[in-house]
Structure 1
Amino acid sequence: MKSNELIGLFTAAAVAGAHEVLAMEHLLPETISKSEAYRRYGRTCVDRWIAEGLISPQGKTISRNNLETVSASSNRLTYLPVAER
């Protein structure tokens, strides 16, 4: 295993651990506003995920966990133009 791969694994483990601790201690909100989701993930991505039914806003808020899950899974095929699919 190369050192770059090891660094990536340790970084991912640290981030996942930090998120888990923050969630367990209820320091992360369960929902975020649509405008915050736009800032974090980009307006076009969030609007596309909503249109595809991958996330569903509850009024003006969106589940933070659902957003993180959808953003972590690459769904590139859904936003390629038809000619490129």
Structure 2
Amino acid sequence: MLEELGRKRTLGFSFTRRDAEPERACRDLALAIETLAARPGLDAALAAATARLKDEGDEAAFREQQRLREARDEADTQLATLFEAGGD
């Protein structure tokens, strides 16, 4: 029972599991690092685009803000997918 409880408290990523395929764990770890490393840049670019939209209010600034929001949301979804897939 203690072992089962311990498994439930671990992160769901494949690379945190002892029984994960090494190739999958390496691939998932690389994707997680890439996704997390991109987040600060996306956040900064989104903040800048939002500021431009407030200042200029033009269509190009709006499209850029929307594009960056979608990119950020896609990165979050990718990370969540890696987390969920690691727990199967």
TM-score (norm 1): 0.35
TM-score (norm 2): 0.34
- Of structures 1 and 2, the one scoring higher in RCO (CA 8 A, sep 6+) is 2
Structure having the higher strand fraction is 1
